[in-house]
Each structure stands twice: as structure tokens, then as C-alpha cells.
Amino acid sequence: MPNPQKPTSELVEVTQFEAIVPRGTRQVSWLWRRAPRDGWQHLAALPGAEVERLEPSPQVVWESRVRVTLPYGSWLMRVESRPGKPEVKSALEHLMGARRTAPRRVIRRYFRVGRRGRLVPVPSE
């Protein structure tokens, strides 16, 4: 029975953007690392990464497509930051509060680079 060899690298294409949503902005970015114990790096900052600015649609501040060749099986993390739920405060807490920024909700999803650049979801760390 033949044993198909795993490819050594694959071309991966992802989209990063910032969009206007109720109570603020929604931002999506991608990070990369080779192995579980390595540090995360911005995908667009990798050597050889091609970053193409796209024409933003309505409600989109900026949008870019990132194409980069990555080792098969390496890790990607999609980081999405959204405005959090509004805080419920009393009138006194509102007047005394020093917070000037809205709370944010950050969602991290993990992927592995598969065949043909397909991103395979993996459970959170």
C-alpha cells in the first residue's frame, strides 16, 4: 500500500480587516507559529508574505489579503476583537468611573495548515 508523502509547504491565503459595528470596531488578524511552544508572529510580517490591500466595502475601515507559503502542519491563530457588552452602572458609578474605553471581547480560534493550504480547525489550547 503506497504511503503518500506529506507536502513540506503550502500556500495559505487569509483576510484581515477592521470594520465598523455597533459600539465600536471589529478587528480580525492572523498570527503564525511553527510549533506549539514557539512564539506567535503576525502573518503579514513573515518574510515572503504578499499583502494586498483590498477595496473596502461599506462599514469596512481597511481590508487586506495575505498570501504566504507556510510549512505543512504549522499553527495559525485567528484573533477577532469585538466590542464587549455594555456595562450596567448606577448613575453614581457612571459619574465616578474613570474608564474611557469600551470593554472588548477577544475570540481566538486555532488552525493547522493542511493540504492545498486548507486551514484545519483545532481545539483551543
pTM (global) more than 0.85: no
pLDDT in tens, 14-70: 999 999 999 899 999 999 998 778 899 999 999 999 999 999 999 999 999 999 999
User: How many Å apart are CA 76 and CA 10, to the nearest integer?
Assistant: 13
> Is the pLDDT at 1 greater than 50, yes or no?
no
With a CB cutoff of 8 Å and minimum separation 6, the contacts of 58 are none
User: How many Å apart are CA 46 and CA 31, to the nearest integer?
Assistant: 10
User: How many Å apart are CA 29 and CA 21, to the nearest integer?
Assistant: 16
Q: What is the pLDDT of residue 6?
A: 63
Average pLDDT in the chain: 88
Q: What is the pLDDT of residue 90?
A: 76
- Could you tell me the residue ranges of all domains in the chain? 9-122
pLDDT in tens, 93-113: 777 776 666 788 999 999 999
Q: Which residue has the cell 466595502?
A: 57
